[in-house]
Amino acid sequence: MNVSIVVANSSHAVYAERICELMFISAQERGTGIARRSPEYIAGKMRDGKAVIAIDQGEAVGFAYIETWSHCKFVANSGLIVSHSHRNTGLARRIKERVFNLSRELYPESKIFSITTGLAVMKINYELGFRPVTFSELTNDPDFWKGCEGCRNYDILLRNNHRMCLCTGLLYDPSYKSIR
């Protein structure tokens, strides 16, 4: 397996439809939501240099992107996806590390966060220096929380006034001493 992990650019937009398909499949299998994004949205992240893509023999096999919130005070690492053929190979860790480093390069003073129900992602984030936090420590930007509307557990988030859900919030704060 010779997977290339790169910061995506406009040449990678041809993979946007496949990335959306992989996200949908994963969300269905896990019974949780990955914020539903259009191919145009994904292609825009690629064009803006705010995404990481993994390619193996001309096929997109992994992806993640970043989004800024609260006037760049917060950066979300989102949409981590790995195709079935490449799971359990360490690829998710490599993609997550690259999108984390891209976030630090582009927004060195910003807090980086992730919300997930996946144990593997929690472990990777912890190794990168993230710590679990309550949702009150994440962005309070209402547009961020709109991304959760596609999740089957969205009603739980609403019932709790965006304070808690089944996801775990994880935060990397550059002002704290890193575990790394």
Tell me the pLDDT tens digit for each residue of 29-75. 776 666 678 999 999 999 999 999 999 999 999 999 999 999 999 99
CATH number 2.60.120.10 is the correct assignment for the domain at 4-172: no
Burial class (CB in 10 A: 0-12, 13-18, 19+), 94: middle
Within 8 A by CB and 6+ apart from 146, the residues are none
pLDDT band at 177 (very low <50, low <70, confident <90, very high): low
pLDDT tens-place string over residues 109-131: 999 999 988 888 999 999 999 99
Using CA atoms, how far apart are residues 92 and 86, in angstroms rounded to an integer?
Answer: 9
Long-range CB contacts for residues 118-123, cutoff 8 Å, separation at least 24: 118/30, 120/92, 121/80, 121/92, 121/96, 122/168, 122/170
Per-residue pLDDT tens for 74-102? 999 998 999 999 999 999 999 999 999 99
Residue 170 C-alpha from the chain's centroid:
11
Burial of 24 (0-12, 13-18, 19+ CB in 10 A): middle
Q: Where do the H-state alpha helices sit in the chain?
A: 16-30, 39-47, 91-106, 119-128, 142-146, 154-159
Contact 35, 78 (CB under 8 A): yes
Please tell me whether residue 59 adopts helix, strand or coil conformation.
strand
* Among the listed residues 156, 163, 125, 147, the one whose alpha carbon sits nearest the alpha carbon of residue 27: 147
> Which DSSP letter does residue 24 get?
H
Q: What is the 3-state secondary structure (H, E, C) of 160-175?
A: CCCCCCCCEEEEECCC
Confidence of residue 150 (pLDDT cuts 50, 70, 90): confident
